[in-house]
């Protein structure tokens, strides 16, 4: 069964799930366990080197990924780079989500309020 493993700090939207299923033939989605999700979403800025910090996430990945799987990787730039590099060394596809920002303006109590809405467009390979 082809799955998408989520190294991602948000929940996938329905649009993203449908895109993954229709264009990438994903049959299941695997999220990080809660403790790893907390680590992924909170990479400490004060660490000079995050290699050791990422070890539990790398171990989870290598235990759970198969050659045909796809891994959605988005987060801290350095952590993303290191995970994508690891995946590429094993010839496993890594992707990121692309969006289009639509800005809406409206007047509220005499003030202009801008709201940005992000619409999923596609997953793109690293």
Buried b (16+ CB within 10 A) or exposed e, 72-99: bbbbbeebbebbbebbeeeebbbbbbee
| Separation of alpha carbons 55 and 36, rounded Å | 10
Per-residue pLDDT of the chain in tens (126 residues, 90 and over written 9): 999 999 999 999 999 999 999 999 999 999 999 999 999 999 999 999 999 999 999 999 999 999 999 999 999 999 999 999 999 999 999 999 999 988 889 898 999 999 888 899 999 999
Model confidence, pTM: 0.87
Q: How many structural domains compose the chain?
A: 1
- Paired strand residues for 86: none
Both tokens of residue 6?
A: 């989520």
């Amino acid at each position: 069964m082809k799955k998408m493993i989520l190294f991602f700090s948000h929940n996938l939207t329905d649009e993203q799930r449908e895109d993954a299923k229709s264009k990438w033939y994903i049959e299941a989605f695997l999220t990080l366990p809660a403790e790893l999700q907390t680590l992924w979403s909170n990479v400490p800025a004060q660490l000079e080197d995050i290699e050791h910090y990422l070890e539990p996430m790398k171990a989870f990945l290598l235990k759970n990924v198969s050659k045909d799987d796809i891994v959605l990787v988005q987060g801290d730039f350095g952590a993303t780079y290191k995970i994508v590099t690891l995946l590429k060394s094993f010839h496993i596809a890594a992707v990121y989500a692309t969006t289009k920002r639509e800005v809406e303006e409206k007047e509220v109590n005499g003030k202009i309020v801008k709201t940005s809405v992000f619409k999923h467009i596609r997953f793109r390979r690293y």
